[in-house]
Amino acid sequence: TFPGSPKWRKTHLTYRVENYTPDLPRESVDAAIEKALKVWEAVTPLTFSRLSEGEADIMISFAAGEHGDFYPFDGPGQSLAHAYPPGPGFYGDVHFDEDEKWTLGSSGINFFLVAAHELGHALGLFHSDKKESLMYPVYNFSKSPAHFRLSQDDIDGIQSLYGPHPYSGVIVVPTSSVSPRTEIPTKCDPSLSFDAVSPLRGELLFFKDRYLWRLSHWNPEPEVHLISAFWPSLPSHLDAAYEANSKDRVFIFKGTQFWAVRGSEVQAGYPKSIHTLGFPLAVRKIDAAVSDKETKKTYFFVGDQYWRFDEKRWLMDKGFPRLIRDDFPGIEPQVDAVLQAFGFFYFFHGSSQFEFDPNAKMVTHTLKSNSWLLC
Amino acid sequence: YPLQGSVRQEPPNMDFAQRYLEKYYNLDKIEKQMFKRKDSSPVVKKIQEMQKFLGLEMTGKLDSNTMDVMLKPRCGVPDVGGFT
């Protein structure tokens, strides 16, 4: 680590690509950076999301020669890039030398490898004297990105700052970048709870940690996937999700941010702040959300209260928040997730699920949360 | 030291090596002045410090192995002391 071991004091970090190199298609730069971040995400509790405007924790840019930080680049070769340790302003930023020939392969300078190294600096890692380490200072293409592995020295270093990934369990899930194992939550674990649940174009998605179960009409057996397999830039451990059916959008919430996805496309201009929806600044996260297809009203659950949002006017309805127990008797806070199906609302709370009849205004069934997963 | 007969043309390596050590190994002003007399112990020590970090034989000299590694592309972050 750098002298004094600077580190980020939070585990969810934002990044922004300020400009691009003409050497590579933009999408390739974006994908390489996402892949490089996943290298570190896989062995720590860190998660990352991309901003398309404004100040991010990690600002990424390409520049040649003198570029305003007293460490001018030096033309082709020698210094390829540099990055600053965690902290405010230019700290945490990553600069790539535009005078290099950036490539995706073994010729020129492989952008993914250098990005993974520099992002290690942006997270607080200094150079390693182990030649097999990603954080060794001299560029070395011996490890092709497809078979890239962090060395134990890299993992020890980053985990000395942030600890291991919460699920550094033992069940093997083949991931492209690191050998440590991650554990898929067991779908029929009786204690299973969900982070969020949402329909998507007729399917149902059940989110948990870094994974989602996908329930579709043609396959009764739920499929499990990494969230990042569909939406690489989304964080894990989500708070809430709902589908605005008429807009063909799923809105996904974590902390004070939310994203809009359309199928597998994360919409530009996101994440936005939840306060743009009309929440008071005191609200720091949403527990659960569900949108009523008929009325086009969306219900947001926070603690023991709920808000109602008008999707047509894109405005929070007046007279809210109200107490959950006043309008949903029998539903106890805190709500983990909510689903509307067959005319009922299904409230998920820990490993239990409460079927609520909005007409009778009462709980009609209590089930296990994972009953939808054929358990 | 006895004056050398003729002013030797410093090999380009010397300038390059001095800049490298300044940039990545915190070669400081005093050591810099002594750099031209590359056998002086602080500079030998600095070269050995670099050789140790980069996994090279610690000869204390700018031998070809050492120069080869120094000439390779690398990260611009220093190996010692971090950015000032």
pLDDT at A257: 93
Residue A161 · residue A1 · CB < 8 Å:
yes
Q: How far is CA A358 from CA A194, A265, A310, A339, in A?
A: 22, 33, 18, 13
Q: Which of A272-286, B29-43, B68-82 shows the lowest mean pLDDT across its residues?
A: B29-43
Q: Write out the two tokens for A134.
A: 């990603």
Interface test with A, best of B53, B66, B74, B79 (most A CBs within 10 A): B74
Tens-digit pLDDT profile for residues B28-37: 766 766 666 6
Report the alpha-carbon distance of residue A321 to residue B55 in Å, rounded: 63
Q: Which amino acid is at A123?
A: L
The CB-based long-range contact list for A323-327 (8 Å cut-off, 24+ gap) reads A327/A361
Residue A237 · residue A231 · CB < 8 Å:
no
Q: Active-site positions of A?
A: 118
For the segment A331-348, the average pLDDT, to the nearest whole number, is 92
Write the ipTM.
0.82
Binned at pLDDT 50, 70 and 90, residue B12 comes out as: low
Q: Is the pLDDT of residue A143 over 80?
A: no
Output the average pLDDT for chain A.
Answer: 89
A78 contacts: CB under 8 Å, gap ≥ 6? B71, B73, B74
Residue A143 · residue A136 · CB < 8 Å:
no
Kindly tell me the sign of the dihedral angle through the C-alpha atoms of A67, A71, A72, A76: negative
Q: How far is CA A113 from CA A33, A134, A143, A156, A345, in A?
A: 10, 8, 9, 19, 48
Rounded to 5°, angle at Cα A194 from A189 and A197: 130
pLDDT at A170: 31
Percent of all residues in chain B with a pLDDT value above 90, rounded to a whole number: 38
Q: Is the pLDDT of residue B17 over 90?
A: no
In chain B, what residues touch A83 (CB-CB under 8 Å)? 77
Scanning B50-79 for CB atoms below 8 A from A yields 52-55, 69, 71-79
Tens-digit pLDDT profile for residues A114-137: 999 999 999 999 999 999 899 999
pLDDT at B37: 64
Residue A340 · residue A290 · CB < 8 Å:
yes
Q: Is the pLDDT of residue A208 over 90?
A: yes
The A-side interface with B (CB below 8 A) comprises 2-3, 71, 73, 77-85, 97, 100, 109, 114, 117-118, 121, 126-127, 129, 131, 137-139
Count of other CB atoms within 10 angstroms of residue A170: 8
For the segment B2-17, the average pLDDT, to the nearest whole number, is 57
Binned at pLDDT 50, 70 and 90, residue B82 comes out as: low
Tens-digit pLDDT profile for residues A31-82: 899 989 989 998 999 999 999 889 999 999 999 999 999 899 999 999 999 9
